[in-house]
Amino acid sequence: MSDNTETKIVNGHELKDRVRRLFENHAPNIAVAFWGEGATEGLGLDKSPKGRIVCNLAMGGTNPKEIEKLMQFHDVRHCDTLHSKVYLGARTAIVGSSNASANGLSLQGASCDGWIETNIVTGSRNICAELADWFDNLWQDEESREITTEDLQKAYKVWSSRRRSGFRDKKIEGDLVRRILHHPEDFSATRLFVTLYGEGEVSAAAQNALEHENKNHSAGLELDCFENWDEIEPDADHICFHVGPRDGVRYDGVFTVPPGPPIRNIDENNSITLCWKTDSQHLTSEGSMHMKAAVKTWLKDNPLDEARCIPIEEFIPALRKSSDAYT
HEC-encoded secondary structure of the chain: CCCCCCEEEECHHHHHHHHHHHCCCCCCEEEECCECCCHHHHCCCCCCCCCEEEECCCCCCCCHHHHHHHCCCCEEEECCCCCCEEEECCCCEEEECCCECHHHHCCCCCCCCCCCCCEEEECCHHHHHHHHHHHHHHHHCCCCEECCHHHHHHHHHHHHHHHCCCCCCHHHCCCHHHHHHHCHHHHCCCCEEEEEECCCCCCHHHHHHHHHHHHHCCCCCCEEEEECCCCCCCCEEEEEEEECHHHCEEEEEEEEECCCCCEEECCCCCEEEEEEECCCCCCCHHHHHHHHHHHHHHHHHCCCCCCEEEEHHHHHHHHHHHCCCCC
- Give the span between the Cα atoms of 22 and 24, in whole angstroms: 6
- Does the pLDDT at position 259 exceed 90? no
- Mean of the per-residue pLDDT values for the chain? 83
Task: From residue 63, give the alpha-carbon distance in Å to each of 39, 221, 254, 264.
Answer: 10, 18, 21, 23
pTM (global) more than 0.85: no
Binning pLDDT at 50, 70 and 90, where does residue 199 land?
Answer: confident
- Whether the Cβ atoms of residue 61 and residue 34 lie closer than 8 Å to each other: yes
Name 223's bridge partners: 276
pLDDT in the model for residue 255: 92
Mean pLDDT of 146-166: 77
Name which residue leads in pLDDT, 209 or 189.
209
- Whether the Cβ atoms of residue 282 and residue 172 lie closer than 8 Å to each other: no
pLDDT in the model for residue 102: 57
pLDDT in the model for residue 169: 35
- Give the span between the Cα atoms of 217 and 224, in whole angstroms: 12
Q: Which CATH architecture has domain 7-146?
A: 2-Layer Sandwich (3.30)
Name which residue leads in pLDDT, 295 or 220.
295
- Does the pLDDT at position 254 exceed 80? yes
pLDDT tens string 14-61: 888 899 999 999 999 999 999 987 899 989 999 999 999 999 998 778
Domain boundaries, the chain: 7-146, 154-322
- Give the span between the Cα atoms of 191 and 249, in whole angstroms: 23
- Whether the Cβ atoms of residue 162 and residue 60 lie closer than 8 Å to each other: yes
